[in-house]
Amino acid sequence: MLHFLNVFKRYTNGHEALRDVSLNINRGELIFLSGHSGAGKSTLLKLIPILERPTQGNIILDGASIVRMKKHYIPLLRRNIGMVFQDHRLLFDRPVINNVMLPLEISGMDHRECRKRAQAALDKVGLLNKQNHDPVTLSTGEQQRVGIARAVVNRPPILLADEPTGNLDPKLSQEIMNLLDEFNSVGVTAIIATHDIQLARKMRRRMVILHQGRLLETNTSDAVPGAGHG
Amino acid sequence: MAKQARAATSRVSQAIRLRSWISHHFSCINESLVRLFKSPLASLLTMAVLAIALALPGGLYMLTQNMLTLSGHWETDTQISLYLREDLSDQAAKNVALDLQRDSRLVNVQFMSRDEALDEFKRMTGFDEALDKLKHNPLPPVILISPRNDLITDALTSLAEELAERPQVELAQLDLEWIKRLNGILEIVQRSLLVLVGLLAIAVILVVGNTIRLEIENRRDEIVITRLFGATHTFIRRPFLYDGVWFGLLGGLLACILIYASLWTLGEPVGKLIDLYNSNFQPIYPGIPFIAALTSFGTLLGYLGAWTAVSQHLYKIEPE
């Protein structure tokens, strides 16, 4: 479904974030991108919704190259991609439910239908009872769950998560991973960038490791000895 | 069959799209107004600046309109004094007056014989004795003419010229010079009004532009997030354009109130002055067309101001 072919990304300041990365991601897969901070995980994720464009190489999504996609079409591409951020990026000037409704409103859905679907998404992440709260009053874990509800509310085929557990303790991190796993099990292709290799391994999914912009290994965590014990 | 189904679906989805497009417009209008009232002081200050900038040319326009009607009133009160030749007999002079009475452009023709003229001159000046000493009456017979009051400056001038060409007429005097000068001044005022409108329109655009720029900065997070979730430029800029429209519209209405208040303040002394001139002049207050024009102008400028801010600053905000 998503293919990276010999992708390079060099920033204008000369920093080479990705070097010759080739990667195939299948439909319905959940894949972990791991590596130290600055290894290029975020950059790789940003290439998918065209927040950045590669300097070289090709990216094929659903059979079509998105490398030279016209600016005009980028919003439509992004409506098919759900995004979860380390810092949640919720809007604090409106209640939880309105945050979750945002992607639906953008796609031009009827207001009542928006509300219904947002409530369903909040129900899935277990926060329906807090729909009218201000995001500030929520705990970090809850805020991240709202972020996930917002990312999946318009049922995108692709879900990108950049360090979704970065600010959370291990127990909450596990909860978030399980939640993402659940969405993946209903058919969403999920790409999760995390520096927490231990946690990623526990999930027993394919994991690729980036090191200084290069893809080091691509394997399923099943093959890693000791995985699944903790 | 399949084609029909597809066509039907596309019709339905188009209808839904249109409905949601309209509903987004309405929610933008609504939210924009709510935002305005959320920070009432700041909004009021911006609107006050716009109102003053719009009220200046608007008020000056009302003032010149009033002056024009006033000078029109004076024109209609104009008389032409026809001084006939001195050697004309009273009967011949009377005949001229009778002849003039048939002219449809004149509403009133009043003949004054040489003796009557002398009597009036005596009455008005009090030089009885001095005049009595004169061997003969030095005054010519006069015909006082009131032209129809729909005749304006040019027609009056040509009427006076025409009358002056009659052989019995020595001089036709039309006292229009000062009205001409007044109209000349008004023309200059109107021309400078255009310049003023241009300058203040730019000021309004800049003020709205700056306000919207601040608003864009304040809502940077929201813009970034909506962009991340696939909002189009049109979608993102819509609320800001409505902000500008509201500022312009409300600023325009406020300007009308300012103008009304200013004219009302001027009303009393102007009324007194007009009474002194014995004129039945009624001052013009801004009517519905004027209010509509000024608010639409304000709205247009607000929109343009928002548009400049949006096109300069909104596109610079890219998600990272």
Q: Do B228 and A102 touch (CB under 8 A)?
A: no
Nearest CA in chain A to B232: A75
Which of A89, A93, A106 has its CB closest to that of B235? A106
Query: What does the pLDDT profile of chain B (320 residues) look like in tens digits?
Result: 445 445 544 555 777 778 778 888 888 888 888 888 888 888 899 899 999 999 998 888 888 888 777 776 666 667 788 888 888 888 888 888 888 888 878 878 888 888 888 888 887 777 777 777 777 787 888 888 888 767 767 787 788 888 888 888 888 887 777 777 877 888 888 888 889 899 999 999 999 999 999 999 988 989 999 999 999 888 899 999 999 999 999 999 999 999 989 888 888 888 887 777 666 677 778 889 999 999 999 999 999 999 999 998 888 887 77
- Give the Cα separation of B82 and B167 in Å (integer): 12
* Confidence at residue A229, expressed as pLDDT on a 0 to 100 scale: 36
Please identify among residues 29-48 of chain A the ones whose CB lies closer than 8 Å to any CB of chain B. Answer: 46
All residues at 6 or more sequence positions from B140 whose CB lies less than 8 Å from its CB, including other chains: B83, B84, B85, B86, B88, B114, B117, B170
For residues A183 and A159, is the Cβ–Cβ distance under 8 A?
yes
* Beta-strand relationship, A56-61 and A64-65: antiparallel
The 10s digit of each residue's pLDDT in B117-172 is 888 888 777 777 777 777 778 788 888 888 876 776 778 778 888 888 888 888 88
* Confidence at residue B271, expressed as pLDDT on a 0 to 100 scale: 80
If interface means Cβ-Cβ distance under 8 Å, which residues of chain B face chain A? 16-17, 19-21, 23-24, 27, 221-222, 224-232, 235, 318-320
Instruction: Spell out which residues of chain B touch residue A103, defining contact as CB-CB under 8 Å.
Output: 229-230
* Confidence at residue B35, expressed as pLDDT on a 0 to 100 scale: 84
Single pTM value for the model: 0.73
* Confidence at residue A220, expressed as pLDDT on a 0 to 100 scale: 56
Per the structure block, which two tokens stand in for A126? 């277990």
* Confidence at residue B75, expressed as pLDDT on a 0 to 100 scale: 61
Report the Cα B245 to chain-centroid distance in Å.
24
Nearest CA in chain A to B318: A51
Give me the interface pTM, i.e. the ipTM: 0.87
Does A115 touch chain B if contact means CB atoms closer than 8 Å? no
Q: Do B228 and A83 touch (CB under 8 A)?
A: yes
Interface test with B, best of A66, A72, A90, A105 (most B CBs within 10 A): A105
- Give the Cα separation of B18 and A108 in Å (integer): 9
Mean pLDDT by groups of 10 residues along chain A of 230 residues: 91 89 91 88 92 92 89 90 90 93 88 90 91 92 92 92 86 88 90 89 88 77 40
Tell me the CA distances in angstroms from B252 to B22, B57, B203, B264, B290, one per residue in order.
26, 12, 14, 18, 11
The 10s digit of each residue's pLDDT in B42-64 is 889 989 999 999 999 888 888 88
Instruction: Spell out which residues of chain B touch residue A80, defining contact as CB-CB under 8 Å.
Output: 230
- Give the Cα separation of A27 and A218 in Å (integer): 17
Q: Do A79 and B229 touch (CB under 8 A)?
A: yes
Which of B17, B225, B319 has its CB closest to that of A51? B319
Instruction: Spell out which residues of chain B touch residue A89, defining contact as CB-CB under 8 Å.
Output: 221, 224-225, 228
